[in-house]
Amino acid sequence: MDIRRTVLWVVFSLSMLILWDNWMRYNGKPSMFFPTATQTAKPGTAGTPPAAGRADVPQATQQAGAPTAAVVPGGPATAKSEVVTITTDVIKAEIDTSGAQLQRLELLKHKDTVDQSKNMVLFESGNGHTYLGQTGLIGGPFPNHKSSFAVRPGPRALDGANELQLVMESEQSGVRLIKTYTFRRGEYTIGIQHQIVNNSGAPINPSLYLQLVRDGSSPPGESQFYSTFTGPAIYTEAEKFQKLDFDDIDEGKAKHVTKADSGWIAIVQHYFVSAFLPKDGVAREIYTKKVDNNLFAVGNILPVGTIAPGATATMDTRLYSGPQESATLEKLAPGLDLVKDYGWLTIVAKPIFWLMDQIHKVLGNWGWTIIVLTVLIKLAFFPLSAASYRSMAKMKTVTPKMQAIRERHKSDPQKMNQAMMELYKTEKINPLGGCLPIVVQIPVFIALYWVLLASVEMRNAPWLGWIQDLASPDPWYILPVVMAISMFIQTKLNPTPPDPIQAKVMMFMPIIFSVMFFFFPAGLVLYWVVNNILSIAQQWVITRKIEKGQAA
């Protein structure tokens, strides 16, 4: 029995099935293999979304014997809205005086996915896209993200300074909320301080809410040939990292931890993330909810405590909104680097990216980094690959004998298998010798695939000549064509399948895979091209040696 061919058929079939499954998931259809993006929380931690309503702010979860925080009533702001624009060296932010909410955030160092002449925009209000950062107070008629805020004078551009602040304040029922945004040079992290002054003449017990609001649509320019996650994410020390699907929130099925004293909440999309990072050790409630049709929120509620008349309380938090750069995310908060989704092979993928980062520090070019990394991985697996190629080379030398056995016993499969086993024994061939070494390497190759796909460092990163963005497809399709040629050469080096139909399928595989790779990021195709070229060289040398030995 030709087990190697059976394994190849299984691998080919699974590749086609996974490609089809990704296509179904991209178009909003249920996956055949994977559950929804929500990771199951422990029993009893299911989050119940607050009542929907565009004008509502979050409502604190009612505990036994405790009063329920009031929902801030809706309605337009009493004063005319004004937009304040803040510009630093890396971001351009727009904050609306209606609610002092962050309504637009432009990343000045990252280009738009669709239109490279524009900068990447995360937060936005309009153009068919809603993505907002909102904070405010609940527990009474207090200022919230719908209240009118006054703006104190101050600089609006960083210029030569290393830091600038935007101070906004609003008062309702004798309670003043002073919100201070702090922007720093070279940082995507925005400090947000909430100072609550009680001038009401009576004790108050407010809670501060932090929420990210976004529509459920995928970012424009997403590939149709591989799926990436877009949606809310929650991290706590107890429950770790949880991703939530917009559809589950829409249907009230989202399950996640609802109480913690650590962690963060975020909205994740390919290459970028926005996350509120409250201080650890502060009790908080965590919620998700449907705000409106195709509009969702994820947030925290943090009790401020009792504030006596004439007293002031202060709570600080941070908002990170920018690229998923591992080194930056690791420093900001525990677990924040997990938004850079490597799938189920994170334990393998993280060391691979670390190695890539070290190589890049020396070479300064991500294209050459990919090539050097591929060579190093090939060297690491050299003994396994050599064993596989030796087995295939031996199989190739006995192919005429195998075909003769098939012809001689074609009417008796049992005798054919017995004769094949005798041939393997006589020629000292292990029929699994060509497959097992490849199987061992598969987790590393899959992990490397996810590293190259998830790393924002590849975005807009040039290699040489016509490749100016390793995260986009090859604009001239040179790499996919070279890959098809390399796969065709590999097919020729392998033993010819005795079955004519199987042989034709093996000949068409390079064409099929090259068509798929026309739409894959150039960095991924570059890795496969280099890997194929090294494999061809290794396989050719080993095959020649064995053929010379057989001839002698």
pLDDT in tens, 381-396: 888 777 776 776 677 6
Q: What is the pTM of this model?
A: 0.80
Distances in Å between the Cα of 338 and the Cα atoms of 12, 58, 459 are 31, 26, 19
**Which of residues 466 and 14 earns the better pLDDT score?**
466
The phi, psi pair for 469, rounded to 5°, reads -150, 105
Q: Identify the pLDDT of residue 432.
A: 61
Of residues 284, 267, 3, the one with CA closest to residue 134: 267
> Which of 7-16, 222-231, 431-440 shows the lowest per-residue confidence on average (mean pLDDT)?
7-16
Q: Identify the pLDDT of residue 332.
A: 96
Q: Identify the pLDDT of residue 520.
A: 84
Question: pLDDT by residue (tens digit) across 242-279?
Answer: 999 999 999 999 999 999 999 999 999 999 999 999 99
Of residues 551, 547, 528, 501, the one with CA closest to residue 389: 547
Of residues 463, 475, 465, the one with CA closest to residue 526: 463
Domain architecture of the chain: domains with CATH: 82-333 (2.70.98.90), 350-546 (no CATH)
Q: Which two tokens stand for residue 329?
A: 């995310």
Q: Which two tokens stand for residue 43?
A: 């029993």
Distances in Å between the Cα of 70 and the Cα atoms of 59, 149, 205, 235 are 7, 21, 12, 27
Q: Taking residues 1-26, what's their average pLDDT?
A: 48
Residues in the chain: 552
Question: pLDDT by residue (tens digit) across 491-536?
Answer: 777 766 656 666 666 677 777 777 778 888 899 899 989 988 998 9
Q: Identify the pLDDT of residue 278.
A: 97
Q: Identify the pLDDT of residue 434.
A: 56
Average pLDDT, rounded, for the chain: 82
Cα–Cα distance for residue pair 480/370, rounded to 1 Å = 16
The phi, psi pair for 14, rounded to 5°, reads -65, -40
Q: Taking residues 442-453, what's their average pLDDT?
A: 84
Q: Identify the pLDDT of residue 26.
A: 43
Q: Tell me the angle at which helices 500-517 and 478-493 cross, rounded to the nearest 10 degrees.
A: 160
Q: What whole-number percentage of the chain has pLDDT above 70?
A: 79
Of residues 77, 180, 83, 156, the one with CA closest to residue 123: 83
Q: Identify the pLDDT of residue 384.
A: 76
pLDDT classification of 139: cutoffs 50, 70, 90: very high
Q: Residue 96: CB partners within 8 Å, gap ≥ 6?
A: 81, 82, 83, 84, 103, 125
| Strand, helix or coil for residue 207 | strand
**Which of residues 156 and 515 earns the better pLDDT score?**
156
Q: Which two tokens stand for residue 467?
A: 């490749």
Q: Taking residues 451-460, what's their average pLDDT?
A: 90
Cα–Cα distance for residue pair 547/532, rounded to 1 Å = 22
Question: pLDDT by residue (tens digit) across 65-114?
Answer: 333 333 433 334 445 689 999 999 999 999 999 999 999 999 999 999 88
Cα–Cα distance for residue pair 318/316, rounded to 1 Å = 7
**Which of residues 412 and 438 earns the better pLDDT score?**
412
> Which of 124-138, 212-226, 328-342 shows the lowest per-residue confidence on average (mean pLDDT)?
212-226
Burial class, 489, CB count within 10 angstroms (exposed 0-12 / middle 13-18 / buried 19+): middle
Is the CB of residue 229 less than 8 Å from the CB of residue 28? no
Locus of tokens 């390793």: 470
**Continuous H helices in 282-398:** 326-332, 346-363, 366-380, 382-397
Q: Identify the pLDDT of residue 74.
A: 34
Question: pLDDT by residue (tens digit) across 325-373?
Answer: 999 999 999 999 999 988 788 889 999 999 999 999 999 999 999 999 9
pLDDT classification of 202: cutoffs 50, 70, 90: very high
What is the per-residue DSSP string for 394-448?
Answer: HHHHTHHHHHHHHHHTTT-HHHHHHHHHHHHHHHT--TTTTTHHHHHHHHHHHHH
Burial class, 515, CB count within 10 angstroms (exposed 0-12 / middle 13-18 / buried 19+): exposed
Q: Which of the given ranges, 116-125, 410-419, 543-552, has the highest pLDDT on average?
A: 116-125
Q: Taking residues 454-481, what's their average pLDDT?
A: 92
Cα–Cα distance for residue pair 239/241, rounded to 1 Å = 7
Q: Which two tokens stand for residue 368?
A: 């050459």
**What stretch of H or E contains 181?**
strand 175-184
Q: Which two tokens stand for residue 409?
A: 């016993």
Residue 298, strand partner residues: 212, 288
pLDDT classification of 5: cutoffs 50, 70, 90: very low
The phi, psi pair for 157, rounded to 5°, reads -135, 145
Cα–Cα distance for residue pair 286/236, rounded to 1 Å = 10
